[in-house]
Every structure is written in C-alpha cells, then in structure tokens.
C-alpha cells in the first residue's frame, strides 16, 4: 500500500524532524480509518475482487477490513495520537501556524530545560525574531523547505549572540531522531570504515570521515577539486597522525 510505503520512506529519511513525524503518523492513521470506511484497497485490487464470485469477494473484503482494523489498533497501542503527546505540543516548531511565547515557555517546562535556558533572555530573543517568524509562517504553504531549513534561514538573519537561547531550544528538539534508522546507518558505515584492514586508524579519523560523509553535500568530482587546493588538508592526509 502506498500509505505504508510513504510513511516508511519518511521515517527513514535524514531530513524529517520529530515534530513533522508526529503529523505524518497522524495522517497515516487518518488514511487507514478513511480507507476502511470507504472499503478502498487500491484500484488493481478492486479489479481482481470484481472477478471473484460474490461469496469469495465478501470474505476477502472482510479480511482486508480486519487488516486495517488490526493496523489501527497496533499503532494506537504504541503511539499516543492525542493532543497531550509531547510532539503534538511541540509541532508549532514546524512554523506552519503563528507562534506565541506561551508555546515556547510551555515547551521549555515540558522538556525540563529551565536550568539550561534563560527564559528572560529567551523572551527578548523571541521579540527580536517575531516579525521574521511571522514571515516564515506566512510563506509556509509556498515552500518545500524542511522545518530545519526554515529555522536555519531564520537564524542566519541574526547574530548568534542575539539568538543563543532560542537556538539552543530548537537544536535540542530537532536533534531528536525520528527513528533508529539514521543512527543504525551511521554505525553501519562506521563498521565499514573501521575494518580489519584499517584497525589502526584513530577514533578521531573515523569520526572525521563520518562527519564528512554525512554532512558534506559534494560529488566525488567536486570534493576532489575542493581538496586539491587545500595544502594543509593534503599534508594531514599524508601524515601518520591518523594512526595515532
């Protein structure tokens, strides 16, 4: 089913934020409920069902509807879809609706970050950012930017010292992975790089390679041109420091 495929693809992606994932799960649940209500199992399935004798068709449809029911029960047992869900209360970070300082203050209390973030300073920062936030929210329907990219656009407009607390809050929330797929992908690549043939490589080297691989968006040709003129990098590559 396309609904399952879409959800799996989103959850395994690198760009989706945990606050966006909550809405994706809610949408998936709504699709299941609507498909069961309409008795819709896909057009090709409908063509096959029409070729069955009536008794068989009824039995298969009942089985399909039971499948929808079991799927719904399964996800509702393992995920809280109510408005009290912590990620439902943080979805304002998606910048799709107007943000108030009360929302931000509630998020800090919810995440128990009052010892790490100055609420007084955060209030001043929020007032500084408010007009720019309103612009981003107003343009949300006309952009394909992810939640993280929207916040990046916002923070780039102001000196770091003026948005320190807001940056800390947003970074804390958006750094939460939507699933274990990305961490597992990192560990998989780490094992490939730290092979028996390279077991003398330092931890710092493996870490640096992973950081480059997952964060530098350059093709092999572009990376070659980039490093070709960086004599300090080439010097480090040739040294034995990577084995220390």
Please report, to the nearest 10 degrees, the dihedral formed by the alpha carbons of residues 76, 79, 83, 85 taken in order: 160
Last residue of a domain, one of 127, 151, 174: 174
Rounded Cα distance, 131 and 213, in Å: 36
* Helix then strand then coil, % of the chain, to nearest 5: 70, 0, 30
Phi, then psi, of 192 in degrees rounded to 5: -65, -40
Rounded Cα distance, 154 and 189, in Å: 32
**SS3 label, residue 79:** coil
pLDDT value, residue 241:
65
- 88 within some domain: no
pLDDT value, residue 124:
96
Closest CA to 178 of 28, 26, 31, 19: 19
pLDDT in tens, 56-99: 989 999 999 999 999 999 999 998 998 888 888 998 999 988 99
Query: What pTM did the predictor assign?
Result: 0.68
Considering the domain architecture, whether residues 145 and 185 belong to the same structural domain is answered as: no
Q: Pull the structure tokens for residue 59.
A: 């039995």
Q: Pull the structure tokens for residue 204.
A: 């710092």
Rounded Cα distance, 62 and 124, in Å: 58
- 86 within some domain: no
- 105 within some domain: yes
Considering the domain architecture, whether residues 143 and 71 belong to the same structural domain is answered as: no
Considering the domain architecture, whether residues 27 and 58 belong to the same structural domain is answered as: yes
pLDDT in tens, 27-65: 999 999 999 999 898 889 889 988 989 889 899 999 999
Cα angle 193, 196, 200 (rounded to 5 degrees) comes to 80
Q: Pull the structure tokens for residue 151.
A: 């916040």
**SS3 label, residue 13:** coil
Last residue of a domain, one of 123, 146, 174: 174
pLDDT in tens, 104-149: 999 999 999 988 899 999 999 999 999 999 998 888 777 788 888 9
pLDDT value, residue 172:
92
Please report, to the nearest 10 degrees, the dihedral formed by the alpha carbons of residues 71, 76, 81, 84 taken in order: -170
- 188 within some domain: yes
Residue 199 confidence (pLDDT) above 90: no
Q: Pull the structure tokens for residue 243.
A: 């084995």
Rounded Cα distance, 30 and 27, in Å: 5
Q: Percentage of residues in the chain with pLDDT exceeding 70?
A: 97
pLDDT value, residue 84:
86
Considering the domain architecture, whether residues 74 and 124 belong to the same structural domain is answered as: no
- 64 within some domain: yes
For 151, the domain range is 93-174
Considering the domain architecture, whether residues 115 and 153 belong to the same structural domain is answered as: yes
Considering the domain architecture, whether residues 201 and 231 belong to the same structural domain is answered as: yes
Overall average pLDDT of the 218-235 stretch: 81
Considering the domain architecture, whether residues 102 and 42 belong to the same structural domain is answered as: no
Considering the domain architecture, whether residues 156 and 193 belong to the same structural domain is answered as: no
- 42 within some domain: yes
- 214 within some domain: yes
Please, what is the average pLDDT of the chain? 87
Considering the domain architecture, whether residues 160 and 121 belong to the same structural domain is answered as: yes
Considering the domain architecture, whether residues 111 and 162 belong to the same structural domain is answered as: yes
pLDDT value, residue 171:
92
Considering the domain architecture, whether residues 159 and 202 belong to the same structural domain is answered as: no
Considering the domain architecture, whether residues 6 and 28 belong to the same structural domain is answered as: yes
- 157 within some domain: yes
DSSP state of 98: -
Contact predicate 135/99, CB 8 Å: no
Contact predicate 199/42, CB 8 Å: no
pLDDT value, residue 180:
79
Domains in the chain, number: 3
Contact predicate 1/9, CB 8 Å: no
Last residue of a domain, one of 145, 174, 203: 174
């Amino acid at each position: 089913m396309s609904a399952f495929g879409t959800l799996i693809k989103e959850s395994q992606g690198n760009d989706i934020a945990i606050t966006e994932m909550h809405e994706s799960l809610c949408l998936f649940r709504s699709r299941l409920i609507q498909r069961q209500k309409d008795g819709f199992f896909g057009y090709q399935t409908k063509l096959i069902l029409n070729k069955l004798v009536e008794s068989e068709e009824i039995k298969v449809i009942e089985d399909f509807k039971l499948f929808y029911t079991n799927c719904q029960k399964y996800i509702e047992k393992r995920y809280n879809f109510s408005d009290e869900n912590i990620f439902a209360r943080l979805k304002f970070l998606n910048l799709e609706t107007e943000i108030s300082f009360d929302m931000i203050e509630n998020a800090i209390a919810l995440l128990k970050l009052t010892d790490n973030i100055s609420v007084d300073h955060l209030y001043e920062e929020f007032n500084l950012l408010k007009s720019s936030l309103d612009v981003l929210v107003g343009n949300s329907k006309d952009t394909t930017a992810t939640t993280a990219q929207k916040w990046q656009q916002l923070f780039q407009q102001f000196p770091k010292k003026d948005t320190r607390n807001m940056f800390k809050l947003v970074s804390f929330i958006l750094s939460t992975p939507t699933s274990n797929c990305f961490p597992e992908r990192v560990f998989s690549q780490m094992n490939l790089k730290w092979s028996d043939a390279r077991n003398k490589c330092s931890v710092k080297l493996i870490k640096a390679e992973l950081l480059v691989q997952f964060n530098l968006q350059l093709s092999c040709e572009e990376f070659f041109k980039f490093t070709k003129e960086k004599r300090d990098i080439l010097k480090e590559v040739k040294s034995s420091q990577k084995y220390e």
